[in-house]
């Protein structure tokens, strides 16, 4: 079976500086794939380029179709969703309107049932449906951003640092929901600095350093890899002090 998303030999540059060099990756159906790596490794840049926000040299195919000539909106309509690091919510609009707009490209009748599914996934959002997005807490905003993306019925959801700046209990919640998404048939490409948590739920993993993938394989193998443990998991091993 061919992969849902396949990126081949991708380069992304800001002017003359190449932030992503010769990266190839694949995400299959019903998979959680994670990209771990330090701050500034190029993870966010890569996701933005796959989404069409930044120009990418190389080949990106989604569901068997080359994305080169499609802009962001077309990629969304094809079933590719991105929850960006800064969430990009409509802060002066309420929760329900944010969700409704997430289904802008979906038939109205289907959107109605989608919103109930999102509320079932995030009961908190239902409680706050009439509240302005800008007044939500960080965790709720992250839920809303994910909910809005899910309203577009994506086949693949790309999550950029969903746990950043959130309380541990909410982080656990979000990771649990990511695994639920896989169970419901949505693939996830997860970019995380919290490598330990990401590797625990992922099927496959890529390790990114200075714009390149230095390691890839089954998530459990990557988690067991000594070099990865030393560079990315060291501070987070249970029982170890942060110093």
- Of the candidates 171, 160, 165, the residue with the CA atom closest to the CA atom of residue 196: 171
Q: Is 14 in the site for another protein (CB under 8 A)?
A: no
Q: Which is nearer to another protein, 91 or 167 (CB)?
A: 91
Are 190 and 34 a contacting pair, CB within 8 Å? Answer: yes
CB of 166 vs another protein, minimal distance in Å: 19
CB of 150 vs another protein, minimal distance in Å: 11
How big is the chain by its Cα radius of gyration, in Å?
18
- Of the candidates 101, 51, 93, 53, the residue with the CA atom closest to the CA atom of residue 76: 51
Q: Is 81 in the site for another protein (CB under 8 A)?
A: yes
Residue 66, number of CB atoms within 10 A of its CB? 10
Q: Is 72 in the site for another protein (CB under 8 A)?
A: yes
CB of 233 vs another protein, minimal distance in Å: 31
Name every residue whose Cβ is closer than 8 Å to that of residue 96 and which is 6 or more positions away in sequence. 115, 129, 130
Q: Is 51 in the site for another protein (CB under 8 A)?
A: yes
Judged by CB under 8 A, the residue of 4, 23, 76, 222 near another protein is 76
- List contacts with another protein (CB under 8 A): 51, 53, 69, 72-73, 76-77, 81-82, 84, 87-93, 97, 100-102, 104-105, 108, 148-149, 151-152
């Amino acid at each position: 079976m061919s992969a849902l998303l396949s990126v081949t030999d991708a380069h992304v540059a800001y002017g003359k500086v190449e932030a992503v060099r010769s990266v190839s990756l694949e995400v299959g159906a019903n998979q959680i794939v994670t990209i771990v790596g330090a701050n500034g490794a190029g993870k966010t840049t890569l996701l933005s380029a796959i989404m069409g926000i930044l120009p990418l040299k190389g080949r990106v195919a989604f569901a068997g179709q080359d994305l080169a000539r499609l802009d962001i909106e077309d990629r969304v309509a094809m079933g590719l969703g991105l929850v960006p690091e800064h969430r990009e919510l409509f802060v002066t609009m309420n929760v329900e309107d944010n969700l409704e707009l997430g289904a802008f490209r979906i038939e109205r009748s289907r959107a109605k049932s989608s919103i109930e599914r999102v509320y079932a996934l995030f009961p908190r959002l239902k409680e706050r449906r009439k509240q302005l997005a800008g007044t939500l807490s960080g965790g709720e905003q992250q839920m809303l951003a994910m909910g809005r993306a899910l309203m577009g019925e994506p086949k693949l959801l790309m999550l950029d640092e969903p746990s950043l700046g959130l309380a541990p209990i909410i982080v656990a919640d979000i990771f649990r929901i990511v695994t639920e998404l896989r169970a419901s048939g949505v693939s996830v490409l997860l970019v995380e600095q919290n490598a330990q948590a990401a590797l625990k739920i992922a099927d496959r993993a890529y390790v990114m350093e200075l714009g390149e993938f230095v390691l890839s394989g089954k998530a459990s193998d990557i988690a067991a890899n000594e070099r990865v443990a030393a560079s990315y998991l060291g501070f987070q091993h249970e029982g170890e002090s942060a110093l």
